[in-house]
Amino acid sequence: MIYKRSSQLFAEAEKVIPGGVNSPVRAFKAVGGTPIFVKSAKGAYLLDEDGNKLIDYINSWGPMVLGHAYQPVVDAVIEKAKLGTSFGMPTELETEIAALAVSMVPNIDKIRFVNSGTEACMSAIRLARGFTKRDKIIKFAGCYHGHSDSFLIQAGSGAVTFGSPNSPGVTEGTAKDTLLAKYNDLDNVATLIEANKNEIAAIIIEPVAGNMGCIPPAEGFLQGLRDLCTSNGILLIFDEVMTGFRLARGGVQELFNVNADIVTFGKVIGGGLPVGAFAAREEIMNYLAPLGPVYQAGTLSGNPLAMAAGLAMLKALNNEPAIFDRLEEKTAYLAAGIDRVLKANNVIFTINRVGSMISVHFDENPVVDFQTAAKGDNETFKKFFHGLLKEGIYIAPSAYETWFITDALTYEDLDYTINAIDKVSKTF
């Protein structure tokens, strides 16, 4: 494939945009080469500026559960835009999508819309601190909750890709209130809690990790966190920016039958438009202004375009539960095919999968946390990435990212992908 136009556009972008991109992982630093510039997308496919058609396995990092340019979402945005794009005032639409979201997700009474997953997680932490009147939080190495200062401590994903998991610009005062735990290690969490008795406001976690590749929670791990939080007066926050409305109608809380105190959302809840949200039971959410003392605000929060797109998406997911079964079946089919061809070609690998999230790690040992994810063979991953790109398949340009499957993928697409992986892996 030829990427002349993308190369030209990247050179132009570098002159006026830091690194030529508006989000670091797009820069291809982890895999080498030049970023692909997208012109359009439809269903399961991307069309780049050079006219190449690519099967898409990142799907805007998750929200395109039903494919790109899903017609009900497109129609909703167009019709709403005709009436005005932003008011900074309440609209009936906000209440309609809020009521639907609350009806779909277990253990939440109220929801507040914001503009990004980062903002949702940042606000959830502030709310937890205000509610508990404690300052410290626990996060897990390799989990990414956005680029707010509190979270840039071994943040996984883009931060690891660039070799600076502790970002300059984060003050020591902020860093000292963030305690770092090991994913899937309850004893480690219990030790941190004991060492900081009555000081921890919240534990925040990607309940299925997606920013060190897809890493499932070990059996009993999430319930163990729930029990530790309950017995120590700590709020449990599930960051479902990636998993919410993707792994199940009610997200991970429904999938694993474990209740969080606060849940954060993004991506899907806006149908792919810039959006985020956080939700909890009433007694916690009533601590927010204007009812309570914890301040949070935003002119574009609940903006009509994002709300229209999100409502169309959530209605589709709510009205057809079989979507989640199809996603599960397609992802299982893909995983089985990849497993078969990589074994046939004597490639050392591990596949992790939960629902429609999947990742391939080039290491023979189980990948259960940030430390084991970091042991993967990145040189093999680079060959894998560029080999698939040549075959017209786009996966995340980082070994620390999950793939996201869309219902728009056909079994022909999946078979083509499996055959391409067979071809590429023969060259390792």
Catalytic residue among 48, 56, 177, 239: 239
**Token pair recorded at residue 20:** 């030529």
Distant-in-sequence, close-in-space partners of 377: CB < 8 Å, separation ≥ 6 = 348, 362, 363
Q: In 3D, which of 43, 37, 40, 39 has the Cα closest to residue 64?
A: 43
Tell me if residue 53 is catalytic. no
Tell me if residue 144 is catalytic. yes
**Token pair recorded at residue 304:** 């009509």
Beta bridge partners of 263: 238, 279
Catalytic residue among 3, 45, 144, 400: 144
Q: Which amino acid is at 267?
A: K
Q: How far apart are CA 342 and CA 357, in angstroms?
A: 19
DSSP H or E stretch at residue 237: strand 235-239
Catalytic residue among 29, 110, 139, 267: 267
- Given a contact cutoff of 8 angstroms between Cβ atoms, the answer to whether 395 and 388 are in contact is yes
DSSP-derived pairing of the beta strands 235-239 and 276-280: unpaired
Q: How far apart are CA 43 and CA 410, in angstroms?
A: 10
DSSP-derived pairing of the beta strands 136-140 and 178-181: parallel
DSSP-derived pairing of the beta strands 393-394 and 53-56: parallel
Tell me if residue 177 is catalytic. no
Q: What share of the chain is helix, strand, coil (3-state, %, to 5)?
A: 45, 15, 40
The set of catalytic residues is 144, 239, 267
